[in-house]
Amino acid sequence: MAAAPTDELAAQARALLADYAADAQTEAHAAATLTQLAALLPALDAAYHQHDAPVVDDATYDALRRLNTRLELEFPRHALAHSPSATVGAPASGPFRRHRHMVPMLSLDNVFSREEFEGFVSRIARFLGLGDEQARALSFVAEPKIDGLSISLTYVHGRFVRGTTRGDGTEGEDVTANLRTLRDIPNQLATPFPDTIEIRGEIFLSKQAFLELNAAQEEAGEKPFANPRNAAAGSLRQLDPTITAKRPLSLFAYAAGYCDAPLAATHHGYLEQLRIWGFQVNPLSTQVKDAQAAEAFMERLTRERSGLDYDIDGVVYKLDDRALQERLGFAGRAPRWAVAWKFPAEQAITRLEKIDIQVGRTGALTPVAFLEPVNVGGVIVTRASLHNEDEIARKDIRVGDLVHVQRAGDVIPQITGVVLPRDRETQPFAFPHTCPACGAHAERPEGEVVWRCSGGLTCPAQVMERLIHFVSRDAFDIDGLGDRTIVEFHELGWLRTPADIFRLGAHEEDIAARDGWGKVSARNLVNAIAARRTIELSRLIYALGIRRIGTSNARLLARHYGSLANWRTQMEKAAVVGSDERLELGSITGIGTTIADELVAFFAEAHNRATLDDLTGELTRVLDEEAPEEGNLSGKTIVFTGTLTTMTRPEARAVAERLGARVSDSVSKKTDLVVLGEKAGSKARKATELGIETMDEASWRILADMPPAPEAEG
């Protein structure tokens, strides 16, 4: 797997998180940021979930996820359809056999204040179409958020048969033998029990157990663990179960995955059932009736957390009514019915030593603050992005200033301001108007806050960044071809274009002769490259580095167009404004006007078409991509129009997508079905003109196998 060194990933995270100012954000900047997040988050997931070696602290990771969500909400037309919002964790790796979860193990969105929690409740109410009084009546269960390792336990006929790590949320590592050594996991459930059930929980080490384990490690001359979470993960993933048995691991059970029989009607009822079955459930879990009670519980845990015998980083709030949980479902990678309320930010003051300008693969010039190292909440912070020219001017940040640095859930690390009055004379920062990498003129397009190098592919920084992106995890994912190797081979003149990667075999002997290589490693690299001559269409689209095309939009395009030949043909025809192809591109949910313009602009460049031709000439096959077979509407394109009365539009869309359909915002010749709500207008007329099937809302509920609307009952 090609990946940046951990210090580089951490620097990217810090720079990206700080590169956001709500009062200065433009659509272009937001779209670019979402694309960067789509590349960075999977790399951080892999470090955390695959290697048990997190690159950044939890607050920084949460901030990245939060920034992605915030931008998607503020700029919905640029929201990525399935990722990173739709992804969690990282693919399972290592010697353990992989196992697919029957129900995905997803993650949680975060809030950091009572106002944000109230916003979470409001979103539930809007999705379900609840009135104010009904929304106030919603009850939640509060559970301390354990900082451990998520696990799924499968029971068949009441007997424990398999234990799996979360992995990427879809499949994880089978660690059954190791889990059988834990006293907190019952081998047999107390009757009655369903035939098959997945029980989810968190494996952790108590603080005392962690101290004792590290003392034993040091006494044996072994390296101590960095924190209890790493120790728990390392203990569970031992190849020898007898080692795991010696580690004092604990489990709190808290959720259900798949179950073939009805469970308790409420979440707190389910927790009680877990206790009956013999599981440990966190004794601090409690019901809360509203935002005020949720805030009070949060304040209590903030006071008490240091005295707990295990680490927590917040509180999880889950809607208590399980029937409503089922209706709400999931939005991407997280349930709509649960949220994690994280503990507050921490701050410090340090000196700004210098400001450097970094050049990204799209030519964006990003100012980065180099700080005198400072401990902020247990993490040493040395760098933070300064957003852009306008943000530096707005805060009047200067080299030599003492600055306030914050590690918050919103933007971390962030320079929130300057310590005034200044303790020394400093000069305002002058943003450069030339590229520091190639000297080319920098331009700031009208309406944008980002300066960009005009050097294009003549700029070595952009060329190398594009090549690094090309081999990244979600693109061609070539093992052994990391950042430093790309730079090394580029400087040797071996790498200029993506196709050159597949011609590196001609340099195998030269590679083997270089320092740090050798015949075996050179042969392994050539083999890894050869293995990627067959690639999925979505990976190829993402690898091309088209601006604003992240992993989710790449997957969306691949599923919509199916094949490379069709996608390319349609993109070239979409250059004609008003053409059917341009209208079709713009009608894809998640692909707005700005993204469509970027796609058309990419294929309008002869150089890009030639680069793609050169690349595909080196590939053996680009795999066609079809919509996932998830339901009886798989592959169908559906449009909802008019006012829906028995469900909200977001709920209707979510149901359709769960059944495998594509939901479009406009009617075209490729639309399969139009669902007509009340006062359906022009879209209904166009559907009739084109001979497209239509149905009313009641018929849609029957087709989607939904229960009758309350109005229709009785």
Marked catalytic residue, from 145, 395, 636, 683: 145
Give the model confidence (pLDDT) of 95-133 as tens digits. Answer: 678 888 988 888 888 898 899 999 999 999 999 999 989
Spatial separation of the C-alpha atoms in residues 37 and 547, rounded to whole Å: 13
| Confidence band of 332 (pLDDT split at 50, 70, 90) | low
The predicted model gives 385-394 an average pLDDT of 92
SS (H, E, C) 93-118: CCCCCEEECCCCCCCCCEECCHHHHH
| Amino acid identity at 260 | D
Tokens 């609307």, located at residue: 709
pLDDT at 524 over 50: yes
Told to judge if 354 belongs to the known catalytic residues of this protein, a careful annotator would answer: no
Please indicate whether residue 125 or residue 7 has the higher confidence score (pLDDT). Answer: 125
| Confidence band of 619 (pLDDT split at 50, 70, 90) | very high
Token digits of residue 430: 């002058």
Q: What is the per-residue pLDDT for 594?
A: 86
The predicted model gives 155-182 an average pLDDT of 89
Q: Is residue 389 within 8 Å of 36, Cβ to Cβ?
A: no
Please indicate whether residue 555 or residue 80 has the higher confidence score (pLDDT). Answer: 555
Spatial separation of the C-alpha atoms in residues 251 and 279, rounded to whole Å: 8
Q: What is the per-residue pLDDT for 51?
A: 60
The set of long-range contacts for 496-500, using a CB threshold of 8 Å and a minimum separation of 24, is: 496/463, 497/611, 497/614, 497/615, 498/466, 498/467, 498/470, 498/543, 498/611, 498/614, 498/615, 499/611, 499/614, 499/615, 499/617, 499/618
The predicted model gives 58-64 an average pLDDT of 74
Give the model confidence (pLDDT) of 588-612 as tens digits. Answer: 767 878 899 989 988 988 888 999 9
Q: What architecture is the 637-712 domain classified under in CATH?
A: 3-Layer(aba) Sandwich (3.40)
- Same-fold call for 99-332 versus 637-712: no
Please indicate whether residue 465 or residue 409 has the higher confidence score (pLDDT). Answer: 465
The predicted model gives 415-440 an average pLDDT of 94
Q: What is the per-residue pLDDT for 625?
A: 72
Q: What is the per-residue pLDDT for 443?
A: 92
Q: What is the per-residue pLDDT for 91?
A: 47
Q: Is residue 574 within 8 Å of 582, Cβ to Cβ?
A: yes
Q: Is residue 118 within 8 Å of 184, Cβ to Cβ?
A: no
The predicted model gives 205-225 an average pLDDT of 88
CA neighbor of 92 nearest in space, from 156, 48, 34, 40? 48
Ordered by start, the domain boundaries in the chain are 6-78, 99-332, 536-623, 637-712
User: Going by DSSP bridges, is the β-strand pair 249-259/196-205 parallel, antiparallel, or unpaired?
Assistant: antiparallel
pLDDT at 288 over 50: yes
Q: Report the residue count for the chain.
A: 714
Token digits of residue 605: 């460049």
Give yes or no for a cis peptide into 84 (omega within 30° of 0): yes
Q: What is the per-residue pLDDT for 314?
A: 92
Q: Any idea what the Cα angle at residue 372 is, between residues 370 and 376, rounded to 5°?
A: 100
Instruction: State the binding site.
Output: 58-62, 107-108, 143, 166, 202, 318, 342, 435, 438, 459
| Confidence band of 346 (pLDDT split at 50, 70, 90) | confident
pLDDT at 58 over 90: no
Q: What is the per-residue pLDDT for 92?
A: 45
Q: Is 457 helix (H, G, I), strand (E, B) or coil?
A: helix
CA neighbor of 372 nearest in space, from 363, 380, 364, 360? 380
Q: Is 516 helix (H, G, I), strand (E, B) or coil?
A: coil
CATH 3.30.470.30 fits 99-332, yes or no: yes
Q: What is the per-residue pLDDT for 394?
A: 95
Q: What is the per-residue pLDDT for 53?
A: 66
Spatial separation of the C-alpha atoms in residues 519 and 521, rounded to whole Å: 6
Q: What is the per-residue pLDDT for 218?
A: 86
| Confidence band of 396 (pLDDT split at 50, 70, 90) | very high
CA neighbor of 153 nearest in space, from 81, 108, 103? 103
Q: Is residue 181 within 8 Å of 241, Cβ to Cβ?
A: yes
Spatial separation of the C-alpha atoms in residues 317 and 291, rounded to whole Å: 10
pLDDT at 640 over 80: yes
Decide: residue 467, CB within 10 A, 0-12 exposed, 13-18 middle, 19+ buried. Answer: buried
Query: Could you give the C-alpha distances from 333 to 44, 89, 152, 411, in angstroms and in order?
Result: 16, 10, 17, 20
Query: Could you give the C-alpha distances from 412 to 77, 248, 383, in angstroms and in order?
Result: 25, 34, 10
Token digits of residue 301: 């845990």
Give the model confidence (pLDDT) of 127-147 as tens digits. Answer: 999 998 999 999 999 999 998
Neighbours of 544 (CB within 10 A): 18
- How many CA atoms, within 13 angstroms, populate the side-chain half-sphere of residue 223? 6
Give the model confidence (pLDDT) of 659-700 as tens digits. Answer: 878 788 888 888 999 999 998 889 999 999 999 999 999 999
Q: What is the per-residue pLDDT for 239?
A: 80
Q: What is the per-residue pLDDT for 24?
A: 47
627-644: b or e for each residue (b if 16 or more CB lie within 10 Å)? beeebebeebbbbbbbeb
Q: What is the per-residue pLDDT for 189?
A: 94
Q: Is 124 helix (H, G, I), strand (E, B) or coil?
A: helix
Decide: residue 38, CB within 10 A, 0-12 exposed, 13-18 middle, 19+ buried. Answer: buried
Average pLDDT along the chain: 86
When mean pLDDT is compared across 10-14, 84-88, 199-203, 255-259, the lowest value belongs to: 84-88
Token digits of residue 152: 């799924």
Give the model confidence (pLDDT) of 528-542 as tens digits. Answer: 999 999 999 999 999
Neighbours of 427 (CB within 10 A): 8
Instruction: State the binding site for NAD(+).
Output: 58-62, 107-108, 143, 166, 202, 318, 342
The predicted model gives 288-302 an average pLDDT of 92
Q: What is the per-residue pLDDT for 712?
A: 41
Q: What is the per-residue pLDDT for 93?
A: 46
Q: Where are the alpha helices (DSSP H) in 514-605?
A: 519-531, 537-543, 551-561, 564-573, 580-587, 593-604
| Confidence band of 714 (pLDDT split at 50, 70, 90) | very low
Task: Indicate the CATH number of 536-623 among 1.10.150.20, 2.60.120.650, 3.40.50.620, 3.50.50.60.
Answer: 1.10.150.20
The predicted model gives 325-333 an average pLDDT of 83
What is the CA 706 to chain-centroid distance, rounded? 30
User: Going by DSSP bridges, is the β-strand pair 534-536/637-641 parallel, antiparallel, or unpaired?
Assistant: unpaired
Spatial separation of the C-alpha atoms in residues 254 and 256, rounded to whole Å: 7
The predicted model gives 457-484 an average pLDDT of 88
pLDDT at 15 over 70: yes
pLDDT at 77 over 60: no
Task: Indicate the CATH number of 6-78 among 1.20.140, 1.10.10, 1.10.287, 1.10.3470.
Answer: 1.10.287
With residues binned 3-state (H G I as helix, E B as strand, rest as coil), the percentages for the chain, rounded to 5, are 40, 20, 40
Of all residues in the chain, the percent with pLDDT exceeding 70 is 89
Query: Could you give the C-alpha distances from 605 to 598, 600, 611, 624, in angstroms and in order?
Result: 11, 9, 10, 25
The predicted model gives 248-270 an average pLDDT of 94
Token digits of residue 409: 């859930």
| Confidence band of 198 (pLDDT split at 50, 70, 90) | very high
Query: Could you give the C-alpha distances from 602 to 107, 471, 544, 583, 657, in angstroms and in order?
Result: 35, 20, 10, 18, 29
pLDDT at 194 over 50: yes
Q: What is the per-residue pLDDT for 104?
A: 86
Q: Any idea what the Cα angle at residue 390 is, between residues 388 and 393, rounded to 5°?
A: 110
Please indicate whether residue 317 or residue 237 has the higher confidence score (pLDDT). Answer: 317
pLDDT at 49 over 50: yes
Q: What is the per-residue pLDDT for 377?
A: 63
Q: What is the per-residue pLDDT for 661?
A: 83
- How many CA atoms, within 13 angstroms, populate the side-chain half-sphere of residue 579? 13
